[in-house]
Amino acid sequence: MLTTTLKMKKNIFIESKIENINKIEKIIDDVSEEAKINSEVYGKVLIATVEAVNNAIVHGNKEDETKKVIVEFVVDKDYISIFIEDEGPGFNFYNVPDPTTPENIENIHGRGVYLMKHLADDVIFHDRGNRVEIVFNLK
């Protein structure tokens, strides 16, 4: 999706500690302000990205502080793509249980991918499932 209308590209590396999510929230604020992202899209970007980073820390890297999570923001005039990558083994992204079905409704896990798919305009899993791209239209 990278085109000649690229406005901004930023990335951050964090250790796999839950408290580092506040660093992600800060960079989302900075990117949103710099790219003049409207508040509706900002809210979706914030929630979906925090969910993806949380999944990378908890499920991907198993909260192993020696492992990193890489978050990259690519902003074009028409879209923002956020790539989140962990150092974990990945997962079968074709087989994610639906958290809204009766048998899963009480489960406290399994909502992150569902939320990402419902907030973003596109969610693409790359490689072995340890790299996800979430895309939001800005128009």
Instruction: Give the model confidence (pLDDT) of 105-121 as tens digits.
Output: 777 677 889 999 999 99
Q: Tell whether the model's pLDDT for residue 1 goes beyond 70.
A: no
pLDDT (tens digit per residue) in 24-81? 999 999 999 999 999 999 999 999 999 999 999 999 999 999 999 999 999 999 999 9
| CA atoms of 139 and 137, how far apart (whole Å) | 6
Whole-model pTM: value is 0.91
| pLDDT value of position 8 | 93
Number of domains forming the structure of the chain: 1
CA angle 135, 115, 100 (to 5 degrees): 145
Residue 69 lies in a domain: yes
| pLDDT value of position 4 | 55
Q: Tell whether the model's pLDDT for residue 10 goes beyond 50.
A: yes
Say what the alpha-carbon torsion angle 97, 103, 104, 106 is, to the nearest 10 degrees: -170
Q: Tell whether the model's pLDDT for residue 3 goes beyond 50.
A: no
Q: Which residue has the higher pLDDT, 72 or 2?
A: 72
Q: Tell whether the model's pLDDT for residue 86 goes beyond 80.
A: yes
Residue 1 lies in a domain: no
> 3-state class of 73 per DSSP?
strand
pLDDT (tens digit per residue) in 117-132? 999 999 999 989 999 9
Q: Do 139 and 78 touch, CB atoms closer than 8 A?
A: yes
Residue 34 lies in a domain: yes
pLDDT band at 5 (very low <50, low <70, confident <90, very high): confident
- Residue 75: phi and psi, rounded to 5, are -115, 130
| CA atoms of 36 and 33, how far apart (whole Å) | 5
Q: Which residue has the higher pLDDT, 49 or 5?
A: 49
Neighbours of 33 (CB within 10 A): 10
| CA atoms of 110 and 36, how far apart (whole Å) | 32
Q: Which residue has the tokens 């902003």?
A: 75
Which residues form the domain of 55?
6-137
The CATH number covering residue 110 comes to 3.30.565.10
* Residue 73 bridge partners (DSSP): 10, 82
Residue 71 DSSP label: E
